[in-house]
Chain A
């Protein structure tokens, strides 16, 4: 593993590529020299067992050479070209391991899994196939504790979900309640197990957030797809500019209070930091320590995340203090006091 650790996954491609070459009719067993040449880019005068040994025993010399190889862009490009041009695609079996399949079985038992499959038959067949295996990750030994969860999604919800996924992929507009939208991203809300959609609203010429549970019927829009509506623009650039516009100009600055007073009246460490880092794992956050050893965190966010952000800050109660900007701090105080600041 150390061997591969250092060169990213692309080295897997080296091996796959080799497998491909062999299985593509280059039937004579590859000589050790060819393997070495393949792995190292030049003839090495090594025997096969040496190569196997080198790889299995993680010989430093080979690692060093591989490292050089993977750093060499030109070489990397050649491999890339090989992959695409010289080699005909073959049905190379890439086996999901036992753990892979076990995990897949676990996620397929989640009610959300059905949302993704156009074909209920495919879903059922896949589940049945994996069910036969003995997976350690069985739903009956795992209890998910969440405040609310959806046990079953209505058929309409499922088909809307798939329709939206399809339209996001194809940059296709859609029409909901006589308004045209270009769907951009699906947002999953972990706390209540629900989805919303971030979409470009044509009438308001801006970003809108729609709750999937409230979308009833999706129709085709008169603007067929992005390419037709904006021939000179790329969807990625358009989307990126739109989101950039919604990024808050000032990060919210908060202080995370890392001590609490114990029942004996002494200060002791709290797990505020742990909780904070979980709640704000979705936000771009930079953190540093202040003079009192508390943590100052600067949270950057998109404006449509604002309500969620406030709720997360409130959840942390006395372990977090909003320092600025003033408007956000005042807003928090108003919510805590239940009356407007005079």
Chain B
């Protein structure tokens, strides 16, 4: 299955990767001048274009005239010497229960393919013979000829153009194609569990809507499929189920959730993730540029797994790098220009022992398991990973905050790993590839946790230094 909708998306959004970087830098952190932005690593456009992009973004965000409060404000703060602009998302989780970026994306990423779909479908639907909906390319061409003939015009497309459009519809999943016969792909919404006037079908549809609302804001992986929840609502509407507060604009579902809005990064990256997921499935080598603070490098990699770190909302790509000659974990938001690369089988699997079709999946999985086994979250090691010992002592008191931390601990660490000493005191031990990665989690317990001096020495010293530096921030108090 090709991924036309993604290609379409990338082609259609002008300067998409720049757009993505700018969203991240300006609309999340919001402190750059356009000049500074044009100089950021990975952004290779002129200052004027940056200004254009900013204006476009502002329009995107502010285009919803019905929600006048839903504005991304950009304003200068008083007594500031520079012209640096501060912006913010208004993300009051109570009032705005949909994901800001998700909805921007939803409203502004209708691809050319979508238009093709509507236009061609339109042509199909006006034809009387379209039922039953199964046809060959020739049938369809005839339909088109007839259609244009009826209105006294000539067909504006060649057969190969028509074939290409049909293939796009197949790629999009709108048409199915079997042995040169096209048929309309049955939508799951047409399924009897949704499509009937019975109470059960309507309950199912309502359930589906709530499910989509929830996952639209929380799913760690998204697809270029965010129109789905809108489509369900549209379907509902055309089935004659009265929609609440019917209005010409897109309707937002009733507020059932206190919004979880931490998924912006995934939404911005989903086209890349989609591409990589397909490459993993097809065992295709990919090339890409990788940007870090200091440098940009190209890499060639066999992707094996997509890894989501939910704590920091980051997505990683695990795979074998032919440049580094080893396994690596790359942050997806830092990679750019991902594309398929050709490579012969012998070189592709050179890091495996006698790979065969049967054991390929399991061998690749084993590589990942070996890498991740020692990780606290995502930082693992190779086959010879050295583990660091971390011993923690927790001592909680009666305060509500302390009790909430205790609850978090009990949920995060399995019982067999915890040794309870009395009601509020626990010991636990970890062996991890990178103890450094545990630090934020340990920090979140404040002084209710102490790291035992018998822990890995390097880490213990890092922990002490970290504590010293944190307290130093407040020394004058």
Interface residues of A (CB under 8 A from B): 1-5, 8-10, 12-13, 15-16, 18-20, 22-23, 27, 29-32, 47-49, 52-53, 55-56, 76-77, 79-80, 83-84, 88-104, 106-107, 110, 112-113, 116-119, 121-122, 125-126, 129-130, 134, 136-138, 141-148, 162, 165, 168-169, 185-188, 190-192, 194, 198, 240, 243, 257, 268-269, 273, 275, 277-279, 281-289, 295, 300, 302, 307-308, 310-312, 314-318, 321, 329-330, 332-333, 335-338, 341
Contact of A315 with B440 at beta-carbon distance under 8 Å, contacts A19-B122, A168-B256 already known? yes
What are 19 A-B residue pairs whose CB atoms fall within 8 Å in the complex?
A1-B109, A8-B250, A9-B107, A80-B248, A89-B237, A89-B240, A96-B187, A97-B5, A99-B5, A107-B219, A113-B215, A119-B200, A148-B411, A162-B207, A277-B28, A287-B29, A288-B84, A314-B443, A314-B445
Q: Contacts A15-B118, A283-B91; is A316 near B207 (CB within 8 Å)?
A: no
Q: How far is the CB of A115 from chain B (nearest CB, A)?
A: 8
Contacts of A88 in B (CB 8 A): 240
Q: Please name all residues of chain B whose beta carbon is closer than 8 Å to the beta carbon of A20 when the two chains form the complex.
A: 238
CB distance from B187 to the nearest CB of A (A): 5
Please, which residues of chain B bring their CB within 8 A of the CB of A121? 193
8 cross-chain pairs, A with B, having the tightest CB-CB distances, nearest first: A98-B173, A338-B447, A89-B240, A103-B223, A49-B156, A100-B225, A335-B446, A1-B12
**Proximity string of chain B (168-202) to chain A, C-beta cutoff 8 Å, 1 when within and 0 when not:** 00011110000000001101111101010000100
Contact between chains at A317 and B470 (CB < 8 Å): yes
Q: Mark B136-154, 1 if CB is under 8 A from A, else 0.
A: 0000000000011011011
Known: A29-B150, A89-B238, A90-B238. 20 other contacts (CB 8 A): A5-B110, A15-B118, A49-B156, A110-B219, A116-B210, A117-B207, A126-B191, A141-B280, A143-B307, A144-B310, A169-B254, A186-B256, A191-B310, A278-B262, A283-B91, A287-B31, A287-B88, A289-B31, A295-B29, A314-B445
A188's closest neighbor in chain B, by CB?
A: B260
Least CB separation from A129: chain B residue: B188
CB neighbours of A333 from chain B (8 A): 474, 477
**B354 CB–A CB distance under 8 Å:** no
Q: Is the CB of A118 within 8 A of B207?
A: yes
Most buried by B among A94, A144, A162, A287: A94
Which residue on A lies nearest to B126, using beta carbons?
A: A29
Query: Do the beta carbons of A83 and B248 come within 8 Å of each other?
Result: yes
Q: Which of B122, B308, B400, B401 contacts A22 (CB 8 A)?
A: B122
Nearest CB on A from B225, distance (A)? 4
Known contacts being A49-B153, A118-B204, A141-B281, is A101 close to B188, with CB within 8 Å? yes
Asked if A116 and B474 make an inter-chain contact with CB atoms under 8 angstroms apart, the answer reads no
Q: How far is the CA of A5 from the CA of B106 in the complex (A)?
A: 10
Complex Cα spacing A96 to B190, Å: 11
Q: Kindly list chain A residues whose C-beta atoms are within 8 Å of the C-beta of B188.
A: 96, 101, 104, 126, 129-130
Q: What distance in Å separates the Cβ of B92 from its nearest Cβ neighbour in chain A?
A: 5
**Please, which residue of chain A has its CB at the minimum distance from the CB of B2?**
A98
Q: Which of these, B153, B256, B278, B372, contacts A185 with CB under 8 Å?
A: B256
Structural contact, A10 and B248, CB atoms closer than 8 A: yes
Chain B contacts for A144, CB-based, 8 A: 220, 308, 310
Report B-chain residues with C-beta under 8 Å of the C-beta of A19.
118, 121-122, 125
* B311 in contact with A10 (CB, 8 Å): no
Given contact pairs A19-B122, A191-B311, A185 touches B255 in the complex (Cβ within 8 A): yes
**Are A47 and B28 in touch, CB under 8 angstroms?**
no
Confirm or deny: B45 has a beta carbon within 8 angstroms of a beta carbon on chain A. no
Inside 8 A of A136's CB, which chain B residues have their CB?
A: 1, 3, 274, 277-278, 280-281
Stretch at the interface among B226-234, B338-346, B382-390: B226-234
Cβ A1 vs Cβ B248 within 8 A: no
Q: A338 contacts B261, CB within 8 Å?
A: no
In the complex with contacts A99-B224, A141-B277, A318-B470 CB distance below 8 A: yes
| A118–B151 CA distance with the chains assembled, in angstroms | 50
Return A79 CB to nearest CB of chain B, in Å.
6
Q: Output the nearest chain B residue to A121 by Cβ-Cβ distance.
A: B193
> Which residues of B sit under 8 angstroms from A93, Cβ to Cβ?
184, 187, 189-190
**Residues on B with beta carbons closer than 8 Å to the beta carbon of A300:** 92
Answer whether residue B358 sits at the interface, using C-beta atoms and an 8 A cutoff. Answer: no
Q: Are B225 and A102 in contact (CB under 8 A)?
A: yes
- Interface size for B (C-beta < 8 A) is 158
Instruction: Give the chain A neighbours of B122 by CB distance below 8 A.
Output: 15, 18-19, 22
Q: Is residue B325 within 8 Å, beta carbon to beta carbon, of the partner chain?
A: no
Closest to A144 in B: B308
Q: Provide the residues of chain B in CB contact with A332, threshold 8 Å.
A: 474
User: Complex: how many Å from CA A333 to CA B414?
Assistant: 30
Partner of B257 from the list A56, A185, A318 (CB cut-off 8 Å) is A185
Q: Give the docked Cα–Cα distance between A257 and B417 (Å).
A: 35
From A100, A308, A317, A321, give the contact of B474 (CB < 8 A): A321
Closest Cβ–Cβ distance, residue B312 to chain A (whole Å): 6
Contact (A316, B5) CB under 8 Å given A106-B223, A122-B207, A129-B191: no
* Interface contact B116-A187, CB-CB below 8 Å: no
Complex interface: chain B residues within 8 A of A321 (CB):
473-474
B1 touches A98 (CB 8 A): yes
B207 touches A116 (CB 8 A): yes
Task: Give the residues in chain A near B214, CB-CB below 8 Å.
Answer: 112, 116, 188
Nearest-Cβ distance from residue B260 to partner chain A, whole angstroms: 5
Q: Which of B443-464 contact A (CB under 8 A)?
A: 443-448
Q: Is B469 an interface residue (CB 8 A)?
A: yes
**Contact present for A190 and B262 (CB under 8 Å):** yes
For B220, the closest partner residue in chain A by CB is A144
Contact B223 A337 (CB under 8 A): no
Residue pair B12, A169 in contact (C-beta under 8 Å)? no
User: A198 to B200, Cβ gap below 8 A?
Assistant: no
In the complex, which residues of chain A have a beta carbon less than 8 angstroms from the beta carbon of B424? none
State the CA gap A249–B293 with chains docked (Å). 38
Q: Which of A47, A53, A98, A336 has its CB near the most chain B CB atoms (within 10 A)?
A: A98
Q: How far is the CB of A185 from chain B (nearest CB, A)?
A: 4
- Which B-chain residue is minimally distant from A308 (CB atoms)? B404
* Candidates B128, B187, B247, B310; contact of A27 at CB < 8 Å: B128
CB distance from A242 to the nearest CB of B (A): 10
Let me know if A96 and B225 touch, CB within 8 A. yes
Interface set, chain B 416-445, CB cutoff 8 A to A: 439-441, 443-445
